[in-house]
Structure 1
């Protein structure tokens, strides 16, 4: 009988020890949940600098944009009257009606081959007749008054 009693006492002791370990573990986890979290370290505020403004467009860039729009307007005009009006407005941007327009047809190793030179008036009339603007401005020269004195075009 003593063996039975020892075994049951041992079992009871082990079960009691297991319950106590579980109870202690449960208490610790509750304490961790109840304890407040430490405050995060203060973050330094960095003043946001506004993004740098893009540089103002140069006179050449403004002239190129206006001329591209004018060329497209002449080419897309619905009738001759509107096209002629657009041509006159565009000619006001040039130093004179005979301003040279050079069209690059080929370039190799920095050497450019040009189509037959023309004037701005002839080029605008060509745009009016063909109703297609197949070139873009690759180089522009302005005189002291801010008017176009030479124009170089390339195929798109």
Structure 2
């Protein structure tokens, strides 16, 4: 009887081991299936940054407006009448003539602009010299074919 129980014991042991092996193999297959059936991750798109844009070239109007703002400030802040007059002469060289119109917008609604009494660049520069205040900024500038300012529109700061 002893042989029989030993045989039965080892048969039982073998069956249990086989069962564990089947379960283990089944588990491995299901893991493989899970790995295989999982959708592949979407390819990561590499965002290529465009090369930096070339330095923005400024228009003649933008350059002239910047220079004029500096001239207007130097006339208004001049320490003496002589330095103000020198700045005025330098500023006038940028204009087609001393009678170039200067329009000052006092109100705008729905695209319709109301202007203060029109003046000339010469009179406006004298006004800056007398008041010692530059209360306006350039909102529009027009240039002629020679690169000189032919019309100037200002607004309150």
The CA distance in 2 between the partners of 1:76 and 1:123, in whole Å, is: 15
Q: Distance in 2 between matches of 1:100 and 1:48?
A: 47
Structure 1 vs Structure 2 CA RMSD: 1.6
Tell me how far apart the structure 2 counterparts of residues 54 and 102 of structure 1 sit (CA, whole Å). 32
Q: What TM-score do you get using the length of structure 1 for normalisation?
A: 0.68
Number of the residue aligned with 2:136: 135
The residue aligned with 1:124 is 125
Structure 2 unaligned runs (5+)?
Answer: 1-47
For the residue of structure 2 that corresponds to 1:136, the secondary structure is: strand
| 1:52 Cα offset (Å) | 1.8
The C-alpha deviation readout for 1:49-87, integer Å capped at 9, x for no partner, is 752223200000000000000000000100000000000
- Residue-pair matches, total: 111
Map of 1:90 onto structure 2:
91
* Whole-angstrom CA distance in 2 between matches of 1:50 and 1:74: 43
* Equivalent residue, structure 2, for 1:38: none
Pair 1:145 & 2:142 matched:
no
Alignment of 1:42-81 (within 5 A): 51-81=52-82
Three-state SS of the structure 1 residue aligned to 2:99 is coil
Q: Which residue number in structure 2 is paired with residue 99 of structure 1?
A: 100
Return the alpha-carbon distance in structure 1 between the equivalents of residues 53 and 65 of structure 2: 24
TM-superposed CA distance for 1:101, in Å, is 0.2
Task: Give the Cα–Cα distance (whole angstroms) in 2 for the partners of residues 117 and 129 of structure 1.
Answer: 18
Q: Distance in 2 between matches of 1:71 and 1:126?
A: 10
